[in-house]
Structure formats: structure tokens, C-alpha cells
A and B are shown apart, each in its own frame.
Chain A
Amino acid sequence: MSETVTELDVLKTAERWAGEGRSMALATVVETWGSAPRPTGSHLVIDAEGNFEGSVSGGCVEGAVVSEAIDVIEAGEPRMLEFGVADETAWRVGLSCGGRIRVYVEKVN
């Protein structure tokens, strides 16, 4: 289905970037509660310069994920991020739809 096609493109992009020797991180939606805009398993790939492809939400939290991902690329250790109305960051980068998501960010080595 179209969603899977999009996913395929993100992972293909990641592989192409890897082939170009770019440092990058992969963010994955691993859990959702309520009305989350992107399903579990959705990917966002980010390089060290902050370029990205894909999505983990409808654009609500991508900015925050990208900046965390740049840290992950430097530090090398994976991180778990959580976004949603119940979160203290909600007023800053929350999901307007009222959902909550957990995003795993890992470096691509």
C-alpha cells in the first residue's frame, strides 16, 4: 500500500546516504497511544547536517526528533523519545491531535 511504498523510499534513501558515506540516524515510531498521525514502524532518517526524509508524525515533532538525532549521531548511543499532551514538552513540540508517541532514535553505523 502507499504507506509501505513511502516507507520503502525512506529506507532506500537511508541506504543511498550510507553509500555516500554520510553519518546518519534512523528514528522509528515504536509505540502510539490515542490518535497518532503515523503508525508504529514509521521511519525518519536524519543526517548530521539535519537533512531528513520520511516522517514520525504529521510534522508536529519532526523538528525535535531531528535535533535529538544529531546528538545521537555524535554520541553514538540510541535514545528513546516521547511526545504527547501528557508530556512536559507538549506545550513546545506536542502532538496537536492529542495522541502520544514513543520514538526510538539510533545511529546508522
Chain B
Amino acid sequence: MDRSLLAALNAERAARRAAVVVTDFASGRQRLVREAEVGADPLAAEVEKAIRSGKSGIAATSEGEVFLNAHLPPARIVSIGAVHISQALAPMAKIAGFDFEIIDPRTAFASEERFPGAILHAEWPETVLTARPFDPYTAVCVITHDPKIDDFPLISALKTGCFYVGALGSRKTHAKRVERLQEAGIPQSSIDRIEAPIGADIGAATPGEIAVAILASVIAAFRKRKMFADRRGETEPS
């Protein structure tokens, strides 16, 4: 492997973009295929499959065996709201293997004391997302109950094609939310992607139980790779 290819691969990973390293065993030649360049690659179908499945493997070509190593960004969960549910979700997400971040401009909620060791942004989502935008490998849970905080990241998550988007609130609260999103010009197909009420339907009642329900939904979306189908059909240019 060339050092330049290694550096380019690490740059893609740091930017949370998928990439595939293709190695030709016969010649020892290697190339980096970035997610945005898949269509132009001679092995476009195989590379696409590697990115979709997240699985690396050997492909047979007319010139012999090649190895496709798929490098997908680590999945992360972003919680909009440093509330009781997020306090339960933070350690659970870590145990399940997800990166976890919290955004909440209310400093009384988003405190180190309430979330020891967590990645915490005590700022408005508008500010945080300018510096660190969502990406397709992100699950977004909006759980503050406050439209002033929730709506912007919710719309941003739908436009980005985040692999999971869930919103806390009763059916009545969600109906009002849907009205606001429609007024903001969000297409119905995108609005339908929001899981509301948030989380798997297990009758969760306490904050801890709701966190389990949310995590179950996020894992289902991640493992069933729904994210990629959703993205192709519904992602809009931002």
C-alpha cells in the first residue's frame, strides 16, 4: 500500500465518508474508491455492493481475484436533548458499540455532571451542525419536546438521509410537528421516515425503557441496512 493511499483513506474516514480499497492480487496494484466516485470505477457494481453491505471480500474478475475492503464510518447516535431518556441512552449506546453525542442549548440539562464522559454540545443545533453536519451513518433522535430546538435538526436529518430519524411526542404532538414540516416544504415521503412515537413498540414507559426502545429501532435500521435504500430514494440535495 502506498503511504499516499493510506493517508487518503484515513482522510475519508475522518470525514465520515465510505471508501473501498481495491487490491489486485496478481499485480499488487491498489486503488482507493471514494463513495462519490463509485459509478466511474471499472468494478462499480462490486464496489457498490461492498459499501451497501459493509462487507469486505474477494471478487473474481477476468484478470483474476481482487479484494475489496469496505471502510464504513462508525455509526453514531445524536440525541437532540440532554433529557432523562438521553441519560439512560448514553451508556446503552456505548455498550451497543455506537458513538454517541448530545446536543442541547439548555446548559442546565447539557452538563458534564449529568453526562459524565459524554460528547456534549451545550449549543443550538444550528451552531453545532454548521461545524459538524449530520451524515448518512448517523441516527438522529429528537427528544426535547421543544419545536424551537427540535425542528431544525429534524429537517436537517431528513435532508441528509440519516439512517434513522425518530422524534419523541404523542400522536397529537407529532401531528402538529407534521404540519410544521409540511409548511416548511418537506416532502411527505421524507416526513414518513420519522419514527413517531419514537422507538420500538414494546410498551416502554420509563426513561430507561424508552432508551431501550430507541436503541432497538436504531439497531434495526442499522443492521437491516435500510439506510442505503432510503438514501437513494429520498435524499435531497442540501
Q: Give the interface size class of chain B.
A: 20 to 34
B7 at the interface (CB under 8 A from A): yes
B184 at the interface (CB under 8 A from A): no
A31 to B, closest residue via Cβ: B58
Rank and list the top 9 A-B pairs by shortest CB-CB distance, nearest first. Answer: A41-B56, A1-B97, A2-B97, A40-B56, A4-B74, A18-B3, A30-B67, A41-B69, A108-B1
Residues of A within 8 A of B97 (CB): 1-3
Query: B219 → chain A, closest Cβ, in Å?
Result: 10
Q: A15-B7, A41-B56 are in contact. Are A1 and B69 (CB under 8 A)?
A: no
Residues of A within 8 A of B28 (CB): 77-78, 106
Contact pattern, B 1-27, Cβ under 8 Å of A = 1, otherwise 0 = 111001101100100000000010100
Measured CB to CB, the residues of A under 8 A from B are 1-5, 7-8, 11-12, 14-15, 18, 26, 28, 30-31, 39-41, 77-78, 80, 104, 106-109
Determine if B71 and A7 form an interchain contact, defined as CB atoms under 8 angstroms apart.
Answer: yes
Determine if B67 and A11 form an interchain contact, defined as CB atoms under 8 angstroms apart.
Answer: no
Secondary structure call for the A interface: mixed
Determine if B72 and A104 form an interchain contact, defined as CB atoms under 8 angstroms apart.
Answer: no
Q: A4-B72, A28-B67, A40-B57 are in contact. Are A80 and B25 (CB under 8 A)?
A: yes
Determine if B3 and A109 form an interchain contact, defined as CB atoms under 8 angstroms apart.
Answer: yes
B103 at the interface (CB under 8 A from A): no
B57 to A, closest residue via Cβ: A40
Q: A80-B25, A104-B23 are in contact. Are A4 and B73 (CB under 8 A)?
A: yes
Query: B100 → chain A, closest Cβ, in Å?
Result: 12
- In the complex, what distance in Å separates the CA atom of A40 from the CA atom of B69? 8
B70 at the interface (CB under 8 A from A): yes
Contact pattern, B 65-91, Cβ under 8 Å of A = 1, otherwise 0 = 001011111110000000000000000
B98 at the interface (CB under 8 A from A): yes
B114 at the interface (CB under 8 A from A): no
- In the complex, what distance in Å separates the CA atom of A5 from the CA atom of B69? 15
Determine if A30 and B58 form an interchain contact, defined as CB atoms under 8 angstroms apart.
Answer: yes
B55 at the interface (CB under 8 A from A): yes
A3 to B, closest residue via Cβ: B97
Determine if B2 and A15 form an interchain contact, defined as CB atoms under 8 angstroms apart.
Answer: no
